[in-house]
């Protein structure tokens, strides 16, 4: 069985601090949406059914009622509800939420009945509060990164902040219960978030792994901003799941991984990839290498390579570096509130104005677009009315977009193009109406 489902271009929406509605999806102008073609819930075994989407919703049937694991983002929740209700109309006794991101909690209200208890880790609420505390920042960044209008991002975030999305039962390390013929062992497994949990059903040899594993290299740092996604607990969590020797692994953004050997193989590859990047980064830090050197030097060996359509090695390396020791790079100017851009005006004047810098930026735009962008920053910091510089910026963004496979990177580049085109339009309008 194919083990993974594509993140697709729109996959980015998914782990963000926003969730999306139909209108939002249409406006992102993105590729394949996972699970949209699904007519019936995927039967994993006699007890487990999967509705596919962003993320997946699972129903576990027992003789004494059902358990729902994760509830997808708002756009998918009604369809998932309909697909899984076709499988069983029995009451939902528990909803287990693997972590606090909205692509896991937005359907809670739909599934919650009078006798339903929602189970999450004890840090679930704290991390929801973190998203609320930085709501303004996430609203701005999610709108840019995912191409969703800000009012939609805000409305979605406000919806899932409501108390109805809270948990009834929380736990610190483990929580178990029996329902009908099945045992649900819930374990704290920090990784992609600090409230991540995994579920083990020993009778079925089934492990639900949440977002601690997906099809691509793990998103150990995400550009919209996140707390440190510390690799060591993440590794320990994956090792714990592997130690159960599962025969089926179910993830929120995976198709089922079936067979004891295949499960062990996939888990081991993920563990080895994270460990390799972590250890190489730490080794380089101790050798006195700076973060830029390590971002360029460290590559995964082919046997444990993973696609970078969602998580990205370079961001993860920097995430680990700065997660462990913060921003200071052993350079004296970094101690002071005077950024390198403070000398942009000096460089601009020394170059003899905008023209030579623009000329050089144009030369670099095709083969070294990021260097070109640095030169353009000098020009536009000093003189934001330089339309030619903005046009070269757009060229550079397009050049980078042509090469980009990572959906988050693509999102920021598309937003950059949009912003520059807006600025160019405004300056041409201003020029016509002096
Ligand atoms: Zn997710």
Query: All domains of the chain, ordered by start, with CATH?
Result: 7-277 (3.60.15.30), 337-428 (no CATH)
Q: How far away, in angstroms, is 27 Cα from ligand 1 center? A: 21
> Helix or strand or coil: residue 56?
coil
Q: How far away, in angstroms, is 325 Cα from ligand 1 center? A: 28
Q: pLDDT (tens digit, 9 = 90+) per residue, 108-140?
A: 999 999 999 999 999 999 999 999 999 999 999
Write out the two tokens for 402: 């042509």
pLDDT given for residue 147 in this prediction = 86
Whether residue 55 is preceded by a cis peptide bond, meaning omega within 30 degrees of 0, is: yes
pLDDT given for residue 35 in this prediction = 77
Q: How far apart are CA 126 and CA 195, in angstroms?
A: 9
pLDDT given for residue 34 in this prediction = 72
pLDDT given for residue 320 in this prediction = 98
Q: How far away, in angstroms, is 287 Cα from ligand 1 center? A: 36
Phi, psi of 63 (to 5 degrees): -70, -10
Query: Which of 129, 114, 320 lies closest to 138 in space, CA to CA?
Result: 129
Q: How far away, in angstroms, is 103 Cα from ligand 1 center? A: 5
Q: How far away, in angstroms, is 291 Cα from ligand 1 center? A: 28
Q: pLDDT (tens digit, 9 = 90+) per residue, 14-64?
A: 333 333 333 333 223 234 567 778 889 999 999 999 999 989 999 999 999
Beta-strand runs (E) in 97-181: 117-121, 169-171, 174-179
Q: Which residues surround ligand 1, an ion (CB under 5 A)?
A: 15, 55, 103, 211, 252
Q: How far away, in angstroms, is 286 Cα from ligand 1 center? A: 34
Q: How far away, in angstroms, is 226 Cα from ligand 1 center? A: 14
pLDDT given for residue 19 in this prediction = 34
Residues paired with residue 182 on neighbouring β-strands, in sequence order? 179
Tell me the three-class secondary structure of 242-304, residue by residue: HHCCCCEEEECCECCEECHHHHHHHHHHHHHHHHHHHHHHHHHHHCCCCHHHHHHHCCCCHHH
The CA-atom distances, in angstroms, between 5 and each of 90, 99, 412 are 29, 20, 23
Q: How far away, in angstroms, is 135 Cα from ligand 1 center? A: 19
Q: How far away, in angstroms, is 428 Cα from ligand 1 center? A: 43
pLDDT given for residue 432 in this prediction = 60
Q: How far away, in angstroms, is 192 Cα from ligand 1 center? A: 9
Q: How far apart are CA 356 and CA 348, in angstroms?
A: 9
Query: Which of 72, 408, 53 lies closest to 219 in space, CA to CA?
Result: 408
Q: How far away, in angstroms, is 15 Cα from ligand 1 center? A: 5
pLDDT given for residue 427 in this prediction = 86
Query: pLDDT below 50 — which residues of the chain?
Result: 1-31, 434
Q: How far away, in angstroms, is 39 Cα from ligand 1 center? A: 22
Q: How far away, in angstroms, is 93 Cα from ligand 1 center? A: 23
pLDDT given for residue 32 in this prediction = 54
Terminal CA-CA length for the chain: 65
Q: How far away, in angstroms, is 424 Cα from ligand 1 center? A: 37
Q: How far away, in angstroms, is 72 Cα from ligand 1 center? A: 8
Q: How far away, in angstroms, is 432 Cα from ligand 1 center? A: 48
Q: How far away, in angstroms, is 393 Cα from ligand 1 center? A: 33
Q: How far away, in angstroms, is 114 Cα from ligand 1 center? A: 26
Q: How far away, in angstroms, is 107 Cα from ligand 1 center? A: 13
The CA-atom distances, in angstroms, between 217 and each of 131, 235, 425 are 24, 13, 39
Q: How far away, in angstroms, is 62 Cα from ligand 1 center? A: 25
């Amino acid at each position: 069985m194919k083990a993974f489902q594509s993140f697709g271009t729109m996959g980015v929406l998914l782990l963000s601090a926003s969730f999306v509605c139909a209108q939002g999806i249409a406006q992102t102008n993105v590729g394949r949406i996972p699970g949209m073609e699904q007519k019936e819930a995927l039967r994993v075994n006699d007890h487990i059914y999967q509705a596919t989407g962003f993320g997946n919703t699972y129903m576990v049937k027992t003789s004494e009622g059902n358990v729902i694991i994760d509830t997808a983002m708002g756009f998918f929740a009604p369809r998932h509800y309909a697909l899984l209700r076709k499988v069983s109309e029995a009451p939902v006794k528990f909803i287990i939420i693997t972590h606090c991101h909205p692509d896991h909690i937005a359907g809670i209200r739909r599934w919650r009945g009078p006798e339903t208890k929602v189970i999450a880790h004890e840090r679930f609420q704290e991390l929801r509060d973190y998203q609320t505390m930085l709501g303004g920042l996430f609203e701005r960044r999610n709108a840019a990164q995912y191409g969703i209008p800000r009012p939609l991002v805000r409305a979605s975030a406000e919806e899932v902040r409501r108390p109805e999305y809270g948990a009834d039962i929380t736990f610190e390390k483990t929580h178990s219960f029996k329902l009908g013929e099945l045992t649900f062992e819930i374990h704290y497994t920090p990784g992609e978030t600090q409230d991540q949990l995994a579920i083990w059903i020993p009778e079925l040899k089934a492990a639900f792994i949440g977002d601690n594993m997906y099809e691509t290299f793990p998103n150990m740092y995400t550009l919209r901003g996140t707390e440190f996604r510390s690799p060591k607990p993440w590794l320990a969590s994956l090792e714990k799941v592997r130690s159960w020797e599962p025969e089926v692994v179910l993830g929120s953004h995976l198709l089922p991984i079936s067979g004891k050997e295949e499960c062990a193989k996939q888990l081991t590859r993920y563990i080895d990839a994270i460990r390799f990047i972590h250890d190489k980064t730490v080794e380089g830090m101790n050798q006195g290498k700076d973060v830029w050197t390590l971002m360029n030097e460290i590559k995964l060996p082919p046997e444990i390579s993973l696609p970078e359509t969602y998580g990205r090695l370079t961001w993860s390396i920097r995430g680990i570096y700065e997660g462990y020791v913060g921003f200071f790079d052993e350079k004296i100017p970094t101690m002071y509130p005077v950024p390198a851009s403070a000398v942009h005006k000096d460089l601009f004047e020394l170059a003899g104005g905008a023209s030579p810098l623009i000329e050089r930026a144009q030369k670099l735009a095709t083969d070294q677009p990021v260097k070109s962008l640095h030169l353009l920053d000098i020009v536009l910091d000093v003189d934001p009315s330089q339309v030619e510089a903005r046009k070269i910026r757009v060229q550079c963004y397009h050049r980078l977009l042509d090469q980009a496979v990572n959906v988050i990177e693509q999102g920021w580049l598309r937003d950059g193009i949009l912003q520059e085109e807006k600025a160019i339009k405004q300056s041409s309008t201003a020029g016509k109406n002096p």
